């Protein structure tokens, strides 16, 4: 599916703080560290981190300025949008909404985010979804972090328990934290997605990690699907959603370097999962192997002018034995390929411009990419999607 000339007008992007009086991006972090939001976030908000922000996350959200750290680390956020598409959507953009020109509160969230002990920190997001009209446990992780030295080289190590593969990642190139930072849930979007980017809030997992000499990052662990009752309890259960059979290993490796105001990183990440399609266990499992490659460049030497370039390539190889036997897939072996490229410029940590290109291609399959749905389906049965996004933004606070 290709959507043309879709325009979003975000009429509200507001962060507010509980138990404090200044409005900042994840204010509990700012209150804990004493930093302005612009120290850790490019343009003072969102998942796009600076080197300071990456180190804060790496060390378990525990850094503090030693002042006013006896408060519960709570913050809040509300985000809304007005969405106009070139053509209306038959049957409404979503239940309770019209075909076009819809205004909504996309989400209202409360965060428990910050230091819990000297070596343990948390990022826990509870979200009210204004489109689905439900409350969900959103991106969540709890970290333990510490460090030691070997031959004069610092090694930071840690453990994280979380509910979304790549939520623990330090870079803004992986699925959880990738661009666009925010978008309208009422606008049509491609239905083709890899396993690694489709498991948010449905799984629980743990990984261990280390950063060696601020240069080499290594992370490994695994995930398994939450029990049905647990998924119902956090409002993410879907009876037709596929589920992991057993554990799904996850890994991440990256090299990074800071030099004279320039920052660069290259890396790879991946996941293997055996999956019961639509939770059906009688036909065996499908196998998914995801592997991604990414790079990040930032110029942070002059905070008045920040330049960025990021790129991600993600390939998924599928063996659909179970789906093929159940009549849910045309063929046994297939693949899905995604490319994402972003160039960004930020002026005075206040004004931003991002140019983004996304392309998804893969093996044709009329069952998986159904011909019947005029919005999320495909006229050719191929997962072909291309998108270009130009985003201009203004941050008055932070």
**228-240 residue pLDDT tens:** 899 988 888 888 8
Q: What is the mean pLDDT of residues 215-234?
A: 94
Q: Return the closest-CA partner of residue 340 out of 169, 194, 173, 195.
A: 173
Cis check for the bond before 316: say yes or no (omega within 30 of 0).
Answer: no
| pTM over cut 0.85 | yes
Cβ neighbours for 332, distance < 8 A, ≥ 6 positions apart = 319, 320, 321, 324
Q: Confidence band (pLDDT; 50, 70, 90) for 377? A: low
**Does 325 map to a domain?**
yes
Q: Confidence band (pLDDT; 50, 70, 90) for 10? A: very low
Whose tokens are 């030295």? That residue is 149
E strand or H helix at 31? helix 27-33
| Cα-based angle 32, 354, 357 (whole degrees, multiple of 5) | 125
pLDDT of 371 reads: 60
Tens digit of each residue's pLDDT (9 = 90 or more) over 292-309: 999 999 999 888 999 999
Residue 30 clears pLDDT 70, i.e. is over it: yes
Q: Confidence band (pLDDT; 50, 70, 90) for 176? A: very high
Give the count of domains, the chain: 1
Helices (H) and strands (E) in the chain, counts: 5, 16
pLDDT of 24 reads: 38
Q: What is the mean pLDDT of residues 246-266?
A: 96
CATH code at 122? 2.40.160
Q: Is the dihedral of CA 53, 54, 57, 61 positive or negative?
A: negative
Whole-angstrom Cα distance, residue 150 to residue 9? 52
**Does 30 map to a domain?**
yes
Q: What is the CA radius of gyration of the chain?
A: 21
SS3 43: helix
Whole-angstrom Cα distance, residue 336 to residue 356? 20
Domain containing 217: what range? 7-394
pLDDT of 15 reads: 32
**Does 53 map to a domain?**
yes
Residue 380 clears pLDDT 50, i.e. is over it: yes
**Does 236 map to a domain?**
yes
Q: Confidence band (pLDDT; 50, 70, 90) for 320? A: very high
Whole-angstrom Cα distance, residue 240 to residue 224? 17
**Does 2 map to a domain?**
no
pLDDT of 203 reads: 95
Cβ neighbours for 316, distance < 8 A, ≥ 6 positions apart = 194, 195, 196, 288, 289, 290, 335, 336, 337, 362
pLDDT of 319 reads: 96
Residue 26 clears pLDDT 90, i.e. is over it: no
Cβ atoms of 142 and 160 within 8 Å: the answer is yes
pLDDT of 374 reads: 58
Residue 351 clears pLDDT 50, i.e. is over it: yes
Q: Return the closest-CA partner of residue 257 out of 249, 271, 267, 248.
A: 267
Give the residues across from 317 on adjacent strands: 289, 335
Tens digit of each residue's pLDDT (9 = 90 or more) over 66-88: 886 677 888 898 988 888 888 88
């Amino acid at each position: 599916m290709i959507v043309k000339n879709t325009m979003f007008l975000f009429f509200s992007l507001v962060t507010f703080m509980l138990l404090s009086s200044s409005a900042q991006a994840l204010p509990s972090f700012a209150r804990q560290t004493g930093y302005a939001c612009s120290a850790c976030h490019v343009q003072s908000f969102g998942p796009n981190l600076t080197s300071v922000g990456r180190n804060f996350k790496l060390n378990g959200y525990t850094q503090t300025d030693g002042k006013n750290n006896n408060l519960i680390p709570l913050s809040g956020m509300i985000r809304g949008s007005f969405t106009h598409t070139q053509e209306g959507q038959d049957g409404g953009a979503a239940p309770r909404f019209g075909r076009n020109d819809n205004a909504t509160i996309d989400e209202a969230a409360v965060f428990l985010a910050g230091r819990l002990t000297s070596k343990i920190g948390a990022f826990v997001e509870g979200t009210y979804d204004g489109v689905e009209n439900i409350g969900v446990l959103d991106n969540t992780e709890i970290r333990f972090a510490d460090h030691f030295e070997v031959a004069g080289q610092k090694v930071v190590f840690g453990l994280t328990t979380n509910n979304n593969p790549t939520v623990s990642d330090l870079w803004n190139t992986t699925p959880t934290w990738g661009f666009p930072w925010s978008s309208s849930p009422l606008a049509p979007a491609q239905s083709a997605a890899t396993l690694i980017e489709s498991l948010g809030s449905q799984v629980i997992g743990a990984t261990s990690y280390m950063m060696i000499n601020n240069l080499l990052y290594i992370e490994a662990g695994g995930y398994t699907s939450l029990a049905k009752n647990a998924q119902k309890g956090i409002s993410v259960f879907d009876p037709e959603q596929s589920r992991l059979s057993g554990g799904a290993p996850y890994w991440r490796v990256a090299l990074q370097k800071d030099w004279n105001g320039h920052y660069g990183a290259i890396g790879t990440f991946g996941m293997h999962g055996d999956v019961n399609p639509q939770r059906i266990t009688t036909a065996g499992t499908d196998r998914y192997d995801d592997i991604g490659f990414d790079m990040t460049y930032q110029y942070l030497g002059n905070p008045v002018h920040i330049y960025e370039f990021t790129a991600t390539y993600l390939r998924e190889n599928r063996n659909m034995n179970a789906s093929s036997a159940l009549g849910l897939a045309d063929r046994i072996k297939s693949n899905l390929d995604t490319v994402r490229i972003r160039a960004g410029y930020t002026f005075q940590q206040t004004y931003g411009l991002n140019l983004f290109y996304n392309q998804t291609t893969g093996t044709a399959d009329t069952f998986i990419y159904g011909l019947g749905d005029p919005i999320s389906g495909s006229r050719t049965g191929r997962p072909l999607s291309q998108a270009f996004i130009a985003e201009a933004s203004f941050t008055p606070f932070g």
